[in-house]
Amino acid sequence: MSIWKSYQNVVPLIESFKESKRNTGQFQGYARWSVGMPLRQLDAVHSISKYGALIPGVTTLKERVELDTGQDAVSGQGVLTIILDSSGSMFGEPLDRAIEAAVGLVETARFYHDKFAAIDFSSGMGWHVEPTTRYDEAVEKLSRMPGGGSTELYEAANQALEYAKKETKSATIILSDSYVWDSPRCGSTLKELSKYGKIIMIAIGRKSVNDIYEPMRNVLNKVGAKMYAVPDPSQSFTFDVLKELW
């Protein structure tokens, strides 16, 4: 799936979610975004939703947001870290839906001015994006997701922990089919990570929470993580993920 196909799928969901959150008094509408303005200000999702194309200075929009005096600009999770499974068992629809959810999370982090980090894992840790507000960097990485390999989470979990230690608060989402072969080894790292904020496992293709790979489920239970099963990987679950976090 191309990254633009992912945007096409998640645009209505993100817009619906953002509309449900615009009762805080911070959102002040939209203004035109032009070349020369910071790229991070461009709201590509709303621009595409409204006009169907991105023409700089013509159909490109940015949000006008006013933060209360003295309020921290971070109004959501602080740093949101996505750990995304690109192993062989995720090939096809499961990985497409995981990328779609990750794109939705990037754009919602942009809306809340949260830092965003992303870590790919299969046979160990792959590429990663350190906590940043350069949201387009994360999207660009997602557009070139590799595939294949086994499912080893340990290195990626340790990287997420290092990110969390540098922030005041964090949240971590693991997007996987849950067949993590080194699950027991991850226990102490995930336990430490849980001290910095919530951990959520989205188990793609599992019929129920009880159907999550047992060693992984046991570790997640011990660290107090939340678990959600997505029985049909061909169906979008982006909106549910957004509601859980913001």
Q: What is the pLDDT of residues 96-110, one digit of tens each?
A: 888 888 888 888 888
User: Is the pLDDT assigned to residue 32 strictly greater than 60?
Assistant: yes
Q: CA 210, CA 198: separation in Å to the nearest integer?
A: 20
pTM metric for this prediction? 0.75
Q: What is the pLDDT of residue 104?
A: 83
**Residue 67's pLDDT band (cuts 50, 70, 90):** very low
Q: What is the pLDDT of residue 219?
A: 97
Q: What is the mean pLDDT of the chain?
A: 81
**Mean local confidence (pLDDT), 11-20:** 66
Q: CA 171, CA 197: separation in Å to the nearest integer?
A: 5
Quick one: tokens of 198? Answer: 């919530």
User: Is the pLDDT assigned to residue 68 strictly greater than 60?
Assistant: no
Mapped onto helix, strand or coil, the DSSP state of residue 163 is helix
Residue 25: what are its φ and ψ, rounded to 5°?
Answer: 85, -5
Q: CA 93, CA 206: separation in Å to the nearest integer?
A: 13
Name the more confident of 47 and 244. 47
Burial 65-79 (b: 16+ CB within 10 A, else e): beeeeeeeebbbbbb
Q: What is the pLDDT of residue 4?
A: 59
Q: Which of 49-63, 133-147, 171-185, 220-234 has the highest mean pLDDT?
A: 171-185
Q: What is the pLDDT of residue 47?
A: 83
Q: CA 190, CA 164: separation in Å to the nearest integer?
A: 11
Q: By C-alpha distance, which of 172, 174, 123, 163 is closest to 146?
A: 123
User: Is the pLDDT assigned to residue 231 strictly greater than 60?
Assistant: yes
Neighbour count for residue 25 (Cβ, 10 Å): 8
Q: What is the pLDDT of residue 213?
A: 96
Name the more confident of 94 and 154. 154
Decide if 97 contacts 237 (C-beta within 8 A): yes
Q: CA 11, CA 29: separation in Å to the nearest integer?
A: 17
Percent of the chain past pLDDT 70, that is, above it, reads 80
Residue 225: what are its φ and ψ, rounded to 5°?
Answer: -75, 155
Name the more confident of 43 and 38. 43
Rounded to the nearest 5 percent, the helix, strand and coil shares of the chain are 45, 25, 35
**Residue 74's pLDDT band (cuts 50, 70, 90):** very low
Q: What is the pLDDT of residue 45?
A: 79
pLDDT of 122-171, one tens digit each? 998 988 899 998 888 878 887 777 667 789 999 999 999 999 998 878 89
Q: CA 126, CA 210: separation in Å to the nearest integer?
A: 29
Alpha-carbon dihedral sign for residues 123, 129, 135, 141? negative
Residue 117: what are its φ and ψ, rounded to 5°?
Answer: -130, 150
